Amino acid sequence: MEEEEVAEEAEEVEGNRDDADNFISKVEEYLLLNDNVAGFNSPKKKVALTLTFMQGPEVAKWTCGIRAWLLQLTLAQNTEDIWNEFLIEFELCFQDTQAHQKVRSKLKVL
User: What is the Cα gyration radius of the chain?
Assistant: 16
Q: What is the pLDDT of residues 38-83, one digit of tens each?
A: 888 899 999 999 999 998 898 999 999 999 999 999 999 999 999 9
Q: Is 23 exposed, middle or buried (0-12, 13-18, 19+ CB in 10 A)?
A: buried
How many C-beta atoms surround the C-beta of residue 60 within 10 A?
12
Return the pLDDT at 42: 92
First to last CA, the chain: 57
Q: Residues with Cβ < 8 Å from 99, sequence gap 6 or more? A: 21
- Angstrom distance (rounded) from CA 97 to CA 20: 11
Return the pLDDT at 1: 43
Q: Model's pTM, two decimal places?
A: 0.74
Q: What is the pLDDT of residues 4-15, one digit of tens each?
A: 555 455 445 555
- Taking residues 22-47, report their average pLDDT: 91
